[in-house]
Structure 1
């Protein structure tokens, strides 16, 4: 059941909003548990790795909150700016965005090649350190960056 009814929202918009809010609220307990264990543990390794997870989870919560607020604002037709802007933003500075996006993609791909070599160099210490894991996590972030940049490029090309 919704705690916030959105004036003017369709059934789908209200259900989507409710689902997003429910998801965010449902994860607070596990986040508190991660944080508590990271603070209480005597394992610096666990504390470090748990904080990496917490950083991601906090960002995920912010993204889901932004999405929920965007749904609420859009559905209410208030005209207020939304946290997640409409894709029409790619119309402004389209040529510059396209050129820079291609440059950023190339830089991310080059960075990934360097990271791949580094990960291989760290293979001998993969069972005794978290170094290789850290490089792999950075590679995953870079893949996410490339995914975002391809999204931008494709939308800018098609005049979104």
Structure 2
């Protein structure tokens, strides 16, 4: 049954597992700095490698880097999209993350001592205004870059030498 799953659906399955793990880690009180967060990236890499591995065993395998990468791309682009949507929705439902980040940012500005209280407040307000945009931009860039790197390395690994 698992052999008939295309690259896009592998991305969908991988993304759902990553979201489920993120929610499990959050609701079990794991800190964001926890090494368990790396499990999510391991699942991401495993989904991409699974996609390329299955393609390498298929009759459609052309043994060309571009074709391997294309299969991986179909997987990781779906994962990236799911994770960006999840990041947006999760942070909209939990505005306390933005507020905690703003407080930490304000404390850092006060500690540096280079700004007046009015400047500190203006910077905090601006940070709050752009918080979600910066978070989403980071998620897009991070997942696409990581996905492309894993895809390139895995594609090179699975090309059969003649």
* TM-score above 0.5, yes or no: no
Q: Which has the higher contact order (CA 8 A, sep 6+)?
A: 2
TM-score under structure 1 normalisation? 0.30
